[in-house]
Amino acid sequence: MSPPTAVLANIQAVIDGGGQIMVGTVAPIRGAAVAHDGRKTLVMLRRRPREAIPDLLARLDAAIATAKASGTRVDEINTSTSDRRYEL
């Protein structure tokens, strides 16, 4: 059963606006969720241990709202302890 459209409204807005959503592997990171609005990356999330995909999508949707409201990227991939930087 699909979640109601309103639940993922921010994801839909990104896609409808010409952006894209990627869920999967961004080598070497398995379980990434990325939202790009067509101009810049809004969100880069790392899937939590045992996190269900619907839960990851809900976090991605909420993070898109946060990124749009604050004007800054939500980034769980490039942390202060990361030895590499990723840019999408």
What are the tens digits of pLDDT across the range 20-45? 999 999 888 899 999 999 999 999 99
Confidence of residue 86 (pLDDT cuts 50, 70, 90): low
Closest by alpha carbon to 77, among 66, 65, 63?
63
Q: Judging by beta carbons within 10 Å of its beta carbon (0-12, 13-18, 19+), is residue 52 exposed, middle or buried?
A: exposed
Q: Which helix (H) or strand (E) holds 29?
A: strand 29-36
60 near 51, Cβ under 8 Å? no
What predicted TM-score, i.e. pTM, was given to this entire model? 0.85
Q: Please tell me what DSSP assigns to residue 50.
A: T
Strands 74-75 and 41-46: parallel
Asked if the model's pLDDT at residue 18 lies above 90, the reply is yes
How do the domains of the chain map onto residue ranges? 5-70
